[in-house]
Amino acid sequence: MRTFYKISLLFVILVLAVSVAGCRPAASTGPVTIHVLTMDQAGLKPAEIDQIARDFEAANPDIKVVMEYVGYDFLHDKIVTGMAAKPPAYDAAMIDVIWPDEFIKSEYLLDVTSRVTPEMKSGIFPAAWNGVTRGGKVYGMPWLMDVKYFMYNKDILQKAGLNAPPKTWEELADQAKAIKDQGLVEYPITWSWNQKEGVVCDFTVLLFGNGGAFLDDSGKPVFNNEKGVQVLEWMKKTVDDGLTNPSAVSSDEMAVEADFLAGKSAFAVNWLFQYSDSNDPSKSQVVGQVAFAPMPVFAAGAQAGIKGSSVDGSSSFAIMSTSPYADQTWKFLTYLTSHEVQTKFSAEMLPMWQNDFEGDNLAKLQAANPSNPVTIPAFMAQFPYAYERPTVPYYNEASAALQLAIQEALTGIKTPKQALDDAAAKWVQLAGQ
Amino acid sequence: MRTRKFFGRLGLFLLTIPVLLFIFLPVLWLFSASLSTQVDLFSVPPHWIPQHPTLQNYLDIIFPSLAASSVPRTFAVALVNSIKIASAVTFACILLGSLAAYALVRIPFKHNRAIQIGILGTRMIPEVSLVIPLFILASTLELINKPIVLIIAYMSFALPYAIWMMAAFFQTVPVELEEAARLDGCTRLGILRRVVIPISIPGMISTAMFVFLLAWDEFFYALIFTSTLAAKTAPVAIAEFVGRYAVNITGMMAGGILAALPPVILGLIFQRYIVSGMTAGAVKG
Amino acid sequence: MATLTKSLPRRRLSLRQQDARVGWLLIVPSLVVILGVTLWPILTTLFLSFYNAPAGLNQVQTFVGLGNYLALVRDQTFWETIGRTLYFTVVSVGLELALGMAVAQLIHSRPWGWKFLRISLIIPWAVPTIVNGAMWRWIYSADFGALNGLLMQLGLIDHYIPWLTLPDMAMNLIILADVWHIMPFVALILQAALATLPAELDEAAAVDGANALQRFWHIRLPLLRPAILVALIVRTVDAFRVFDIAYIITSGGPAFKTVTITYLTYLNTFSYGKQGTGAALSFMISIFTIAMAFAYIRFLYRPEET
C-alpha cells in the first residue's frame, strides 16, 4: 500500500521533472539555433535541403539550422500556430504565393527590403519577386517558380488525325470531341476541380485567358461579369458534353496525373512535376508520349490581346517578424536561395536566376536532367504569362467562397451566374470586415 | 428435428459470410495496393491481384537507405515514436486512472458528481480549438517537438475515458470482498492493490487497449506539436505521403498496413480480455 | 484483540478522515493532468469567443459580447452545417448500433467459426483513422477505385460513377467509411454484454411460447440498455465532433456538402483567421454534445436495471 502510493507519487514527480527538464534558460553565448519550416516535396527532397543546411553550418559554425518539414496542406496552419508563441516556433518559413497579403496583415513577415542586394534584385527573374513584394516592400526571398502547363498526349492526337495541339480552348473542345467520337479515349480532358485551392488555380488560367479578372482597379470583384460567367459555363459544358472527366469535381492534381499517365486522357493542365513523372516507367504508361504546348486562351481573349495565360504557383521563404535571430536567418536564406546552391541542384528544380538560362550556363542546365531540354523552353514560354490570384488579406476565405461557387455550378446546384454572384457578394462582405 | 437444427446452423453460418466480407474486403484491397506499383494501381479494370507485385513499397520503409524519397525513410522512425508514445500514455492512464476511478467509486466525496461530469466535459471541446493555446503553453515550457508534450496532451483526453471505463469495472467488484480486506487491516490503497485490481484485470486490459488506440490514432495534436523526427508519429507520417501535388499512394498504402499492425497485433493478443472485460463495464454502464 | 478495542473509536473517526485524505490523493494526479492541460486553453477559448479576434500579431481585439454567437445563429451556413453533422451522427451511430447489435447477436448464437468472426472484428477498429480515410478515398476513386471496379464486374453499373462528386452521395460515403471503422467496436461491446445475460430468462420465455423476435425485444433489449447507453454516449459525442475522416476523403466537398461543424471550426480558426468565431463555434459544439449526452441519460438511464 505505501509502496504503491510511493510509486505513483514518484511517477508524477518523474513526469514533472521530465517536463521541467525541457526548460532551459536561453544560452547567452554559444551557437544560435534557427528553426526553418518548409514543405516536403517542394522542389528539393528533405535530404537535399538537410545537406544544404549542413553545408551552411560548416561555413557558419556559430549558426545551427534545424529544418522542419510538413505537408503542404498543413504548412499554413503550422505557421499560424508557430507565430502564436513567443519566441516564435520558426525563424523562417516557406510561404505559398497566395499568403503574403494575409501574413503581412497579421504582421508575421519581416520587411527585408533593405537587405536585398541589387545583384539579387537583378539576378533573379522579376516575376519571382511577385510572391514576396507588396507595396514596394520585399518580405522574403523567392525559392521555386512554378506555373501550370498545358500538356497533351502526342500519340492520341496523332491517332485522331490531329497534327497540332489546340491554340484556343474552343479548339480544345473540338479536338476533344473528335478524339471522343473516334473512341480513342472516353474523357479526353482532365482537371483538378475538387474543393481545394487547385480549382481556383484552374479557374485563374481560364479566366484571364478570356480577358477576365478577379478584381477591378478599385478592388471590387468582377469575376462574376459576363467573361467570368462564360468561363464557368464553358467548364460545365465540357463536363456535360462528356469531354471533361466528370470525376474532375473530386480530383486534385494527383488524380489529374494519374488519369493522364494511365493514358485515359489526352489533355491535362498541371504543374511541372507531371512531365518528369510521365517519363518514369514505374508511374507512367505513356512514356515518351507527353509534350508541352502553350496554354490555350479563349477566342475572345485572343481578340482582346491576351497572348497567354497561366497561374503563378511559386513558393518563397520569409523571415518571421518576431524571430530574435533575423540576421542569422537572413544569412541562411540567402545561402539557400543563392545562385551556387540553386545551380547545384538544378537537376531537381529549375533555378530562378536569369543567367542560368543564358549561354554556357544554359547548356549546363539542359544537361543536368534529361527532362530539362523540354521543360526549359516550356518554362521560358509560359511563365511570362503567369497571373496572380487576388492579393487580398482575406484570400483564404475568399478562395473558399469561390471554390464553393464553382463546385455548386459544376454539380448543378446553382447556375454559373448565380453561383459567381453569390461568391462576389461574399467577397464584398469580406472586404468590408 | 436434427436436420432442422442443421439447416438452422447452416443458415447462421451463411449469415457470417457477408459480415466477414464486409470486414475483410477493404483490408485485403489495402494490402493488395501496398504490393502494387503505381502503374498497377492505376489500371482499369482494377487488378485485384497486382500483375507485377512488388515489395518495394515496404522495402522503402523498412530499409531506409534504399529509399528514393525520404518520406518512407522517416516513416519507420515515426512508427517507433508512435509505439513509444502510445505505450507511455497507456501506462500512465492506467496508473493514474485506476487510482482516480477507485476513489470516485468507493470513497464518498462531496463533489463526486461534479468531478465526474467535469472530467468528461473536457472532452466536449474539439481539439482544433484547444490546439493554439496548448501550443503557446507547450512552447513556453519548451516542450515542442519532444515526445513528452504529446504524452501529456494525449493523457488529457484519454484519462477521462480511462477513468470512466475503469470506474464501471470497479463498481462490479463485490463490496463484501473489500470489507473483508478492510477487516483484515488493509488501507484503502491496500484494498485497491490486493483486491480490486486483481479482479478487474480484464477490465483494465480492455481499457488499456482502448486508450492505446486512442493515442495511436490521434492526428491533429501530433501534427501541430511535432514536425521533427524526434517526436513525429505514424498518422502524421502517413499524411505526409500526400505531397503538394502528388501522392505516393502505393507508399501510403504500405505505410497504412504497417501503421495498423501494432494495434491489431495487440488487439489479437489481448482480445480475450477485451471481450470479457467489456462485459462488466458494459452491463453496469 | 486488545489493541482493536482500544483503538476502535479512534480508528473509525480517522478512517473516514483517512479515507477522504487518501481519496483526494488518488484523484489529484489525474485532475492535475487533465485540468492542468485543458483548463487554460478552455478558458482562453471561452474568453476569445466574446471577442472579434483576427489572427495575427498586434491585432485589435474588440469585445463583442455574444456577438459571435448571435452571428452564428443567424448564419444559414452554420445551421446547414449543424444539420449535416446531425445527419452524419444519427445515421452513423444508428447504423453502428443496429449492425453492431445484429453482429453481436450473430456471434452470440455461436455459428461455426464464431471465434474467427470475433477476432476479425478487431481489425477495422484498429486501423488508424488516417489510414481508413485514405483507403476509402482510394476505394471511391472515380477512375481507378475498387468500388467502381467491383460494381462493374458484378454488372450492377455499366460505366464508372464519380461517387465523390455527387453532392447527395458524398456524406453517405463518409458514413460508410466511418461505420466500417467503428461498427466492430460497438459489436464487441454488445456481444460481451449479451454474454453476461442470464440464459434462464430467455429459456423461460421460450417455454412460455415467445418467439425469437419477442424474446429479443422484450427481454434482451431492456437488459442491454446500460450497454447500449454506454455505446450511444461515447459514439455520439465522437461522431458529432468528426473531422479527420471528412477532411481526408472529400476535403469538405463537393460544394461544402461534407463540411462538418468541427471542420467549420477548423476553417474559421486556421484558414480564415477568425479566432473569435472559431472559439464561439467550439462552445456551440459542446453545448450540442452536452445536450445530447443529457438527453440520452434522461431517457435511457434506468438505475434500477443496473
Which CATH number goes with the domain that contains B166?
A: 1.10.3720.10
Domain that holds residue B28: 1-54
Q: Is residue B235 assigned to a domain?
A: yes
C-alpha cell at B183: 477487516
Is the same domain home to A220 and A304? Answer: yes
Q: Taken in order B155, B156, B160, B161, is the CA torsion positive or negative?
A: negative
Taking 90 as the threshold, does the pLDDT of residue B263 lie above it?
A: no
Query: What is each CA distance from B90 to A164, B156, B214, in whole angstroms?
Result: 64, 12, 9
Q: Determine the distance from the C-alpha atom of residue A336 to the mean position of all C-alpha atoms in its chain, rounded to a whole number.
A: 19
Is the same domain home to A164 and A210? Answer: yes
Q: Is residue B264 assigned to a domain?
A: yes
CB B172 within 8 A of CB B284: yes
Is the same domain home to A253 and A322? Answer: no
Q: Is residue A4 assigned to a domain?
A: no
Q: Is residue B106 assigned to a domain?
A: yes
Cα–Cα dist C17/C13, whole Å? 7
CA–CA min distance A94, chain C (Å) = 17
Is the same domain home to B50 and B75? Answer: no
CB A264 within 8 A of CB C143: yes
Taking 60 as the threshold, does the pLDDT of residue A6 lie above it?
A: no
Q: Is residue A2 assigned to a domain?
A: no
* Better-predicted residue by pLDDT, A418 or C194: A418
Q: What is the pLDDT of residues A342-361, one digit of tens each?
A: 888 887 788 899 988 888 88
pLDDT of residue C4: 46
Is the same domain home to B23 and B129? Answer: no
pLDDT of residue C15: 62
Percent of all residues in chain A with a pLDDT value above 70, rounded to a whole number: 93
Chain A residues with CB-CB distance to C142 below 8 A: 245-247, 250-251, 255
Residues 6 or more apart in contact with residue A4 via CB below 8 angstroms? B189, B192, B193
Which one, of B216, B179, B160, lies nearest residue C38 by Cα? B160
* Better-predicted residue by pLDDT, A375 or B119: A375
**Do the chains contact at A321 and C253, CB–CB below 8 Å?**
no
Task: Kindly state whether A80 is in contact with chain C, defined as any CB-CB distance less than 8 angstroms.
Answer: yes
Is the same domain home to B75 and B49? Answer: no
Model confidence band, residue A421 (pLDDT cutoffs 50, 70, 90): very high
pLDDT of residue A29: 59
pTM: 0.88
Q: Indicate the range of A109-118, A318-327, B247-256, C256-265 predicted with least confidence.
A: B247-256
State the average pLDDT for chain B. Answer: 80
Domain that holds residue A373: 32-146+313-382
Name subunits touching A (3+ CB pairs < 8 A): B, C
CA–CA min distance A291, chain C (Å) = 23
Q: Which of A342, A359, A382 is the last residue of a domain?
A: A382
Q: What is the pLDDT of residues B181-192, one digit of tens each?
A: 777 777 777 777
Pick the residue of C35, C165, C256, C267 with the most A CBs within 10 A to test the interface with A by mutation.
Answer: C165
The residue of chain A nearest to residue B219, with distances taken between CA atoms, is: A74
Q: Is residue B60 assigned to a domain?
A: no
Q: Is residue B61 assigned to a domain?
A: no
Taking 50 as the threshold, does the pLDDT of residue A1 lie above it?
A: no
Is the same domain home to A301 and A332? Answer: no
**Do the chains contact at C192 and B276, CB–CB below 8 Å?**
yes
**Listed ranges A298-312, B139-153, C101-115; the one with the highest mean pLDDT:** A298-312
Residues 6 or more apart in contact with residue C92 via CB below 8 angstroms? C175, C178, C179, C182, C235, C239
Is the same domain home to A97 and A181? Answer: no
Cα–Cα dist C291/B110, whole Å? 25
pLDDT of residue B42: 80
Cα–Cα dist B47/B49, whole Å? 5
CB B136 within 8 A of CB C49: no
Cα–Cα dist A130/A122, whole Å? 14
* Better-predicted residue by pLDDT, A114 or B73: A114
- Rg of chain C over Cα atoms, rounded to whole angstroms, equals 25
pLDDT of residue B231: 85
Is the same domain home to B88 and B117? Answer: yes
Is the same domain home to B73 and B31? Answer: no
For cell 463498481, the residue is B171
Q: Is residue A1 assigned to a domain?
A: no
Residue C296, amino acid: Y
Domains of chain C by start residue, with CATH: 12-63 (no CATH), 72-305 (1.10.3720.10)
Model confidence band, residue A22 (pLDDT cutoffs 50, 70, 90): very low
In chain C, positions 187-216, which contact chain B (CB-CB < 8 Å)? 188-193, 195-196
Is the same domain home to B125 and B36? Answer: no
CB B163 within 8 A of CB B274: no
C-alpha cell at A173: 473542345
In chain C, positions 57-96, which contact chain B (CB-CB < 8 Å)? none
For cell 481539439, the residue is B127
Is the same domain home to B50 and B93? Answer: no
Cα–Cα dist B39/C147, whole Å? 19
C-alpha cell at C230: 454506454
Residues 6 or more apart in contact with residue B128 via CB below 8 angstroms? B220, C243, C262, C265, C266, C269, C270, C278, C282
A&B contacts, CB < 8 Å: 128
pLDDT of residue B281: 46
Is the same domain home to A175 and A245? Answer: yes
Residues 6 or more apart in contact with residue A73 via CB below 8 angstroms? B239, B242
CB A106 within 8 A of CB C55: yes
Taking 80 as the threshold, does the pLDDT of residue B160 lie above it?
A: yes
Residue C273, SS3? coil
Residue B54, SS3? coil
Cβ count near A28 (within 10 Å): 5
**Do the chains contact at A195 and C25, CB–CB below 8 Å?**
no
String of DSSP letters for C146-211: HHHHHHHHTTS-SS---GGG-TTTHHHHHHHHHHHHHHHHHHHHHHHHHHHS-HHHHHHHHHTT--
Cα–Cα dist A345/A332, whole Å? 17
Q: Is residue A121 assigned to a domain?
A: yes
Is the same domain home to B103 and B212? Answer: yes
Query: What is each CA distance from B5 to A206, B1, B162, C210, C292, in whole angstroms?
Result: 69, 6, 43, 19, 44
Is the same domain home to A337 and A283? Answer: no
Taking 50 as the threshold, does the pLDDT of residue C305 lie above it?
A: no
* Better-predicted residue by pLDDT, A42 or B160: B160
Average pLDDT over residues A20-41: 69
Taking 90 as the threshold, does the pLDDT of residue A23 lie above it?
A: no
Model confidence band, residue C6 (pLDDT cutoffs 50, 70, 90): very low
CA–CA min distance B199, chain A (Å) = 17
pLDDT of residue C5: 44
Q: DSSP state, C55?
A: S
pLDDT of residue A12: 59
CA triplet B141, C269, C172: central angle to 5 degrees? 120
**Do the chains contact at B132 and A84, CB–CB below 8 Å?**
yes
Is the same domain home to A211 and A306? Answer: yes
Is the same domain home to B70 and B119? Answer: yes
Is the same domain home to B259 and B171? Answer: yes
Is the same domain home to B147 and B35? Answer: no
Number of domains composing chain A = 2
Cα–Cα dist B267/B273, whole Å? 9
CATH number, position A252: 3.40.190.10
Is the same domain home to A222 and A337? Answer: no
CB C42 within 8 A of CB B122: yes
Q: Taken in order B263, C176, B30, A276, is the CA torsion positive or negative?
A: negative
Is the same domain home to A53 and A76? Answer: yes
Question: Given A71, A89, A285, which is nearest B39 (Cβ)?
Answer: A285
Q: Indicate the range of A233-242, B166-175, C66-75 predicted with least confidence.
A: B166-175
Residues of C with CB under 8 A from a CB of A: 25, 29, 32, 54-59, 141-144, 162-167, 250-256, 267, 270-274
Phi-psi region of B109 (alpha: psi -120 to 50; beta: other; left: phi over 0): beta
Q: Is residue B279 assigned to a domain?
A: yes
Is the same domain home to B78 and B36? Answer: no
Cα–Cα dist B32/B12, whole Å? 30
Q: Is residue A296 assigned to a domain?
A: yes
Q: Taken in order C38, C40, C46, C51, is the CA torsion positive or negative?
A: negative
Query: Three-state SS across chain A?
Result: CHHHHHHHHHHHHHHHHHHHHCCCCCCCCCCEEEEEEEECCECECHHHHHHHHHHHHHHCCCEEEEEEEECHHHHHHHHHHHHCCCCCCCCEEEEECCCHHHHHHCCCECCCHHHCCHHHHHHECHHHHHHCEECCEECCEEEECCECEEEEEHHHHHHCCCCCCCCEHHHHHHHHHHHHHCCCCCCCEECCCCCCHHHHHHHHHHHHHCCCCCECCCCCECCCCHHHHHHHHHHHHHHHCCCECHHHHHCCHHHHHHHHHCCCCCEEEECCHHHHHHCCCCCCCCCCCEEEECCCECHHHHHCCCCCCEEECCEEEEEECCCCCHHHHHHHHHHHCCHHHHHHCCCCCCCCEHHHHCHHHHHHHHHHCCCHHHHHHHHHHHHHHEECCCCCCCHHHHHHHHHHHHHHHHCCCCCHHHHHHHHHHHHHHHHHC
Is the same domain home to A318 and A307? Answer: no
**Do the chains contact at A264 and C59, CB–CB below 8 Å?**
no
Taking 80 as the threshold, does the pLDDT of residue B163 lie above it?
A: yes
DSSP H/E element including C22: helix C2-48
Is the same domain home to A98 and A119? Answer: yes
Alpha carbons within 13 angstroms on the beta-carbon side of residue A98 total 22
Q: Is residue B131 assigned to a domain?
A: yes
CB A316 within 8 A of CB A112: no
Q: DSSP state, B192?
A: I
Cα–Cα dist A288/C244, whole Å? 39
CB B251 within 8 A of CB B241: yes
Q: What is the pLDDT of residues C130-156, one digit of tens each?
A: 889 988 988 998 888 889 988 988 888
Q: Is residue B199 assigned to a domain?
A: yes
**Do the chains contact at A66 and B228, CB–CB below 8 Å?**
yes
Q: What is the pLDDT of residues C159-208, one digit of tens each?
A: 888 999 898 899 999 999 999 999 998 888 788 777 777 777 777 777 77
Q: Is residue A82 assigned to a domain?
A: yes
For cell 470531341, the residue is A177
Number of domains composing chain B = 2
Q: Is residue A133 assigned to a domain?
A: yes
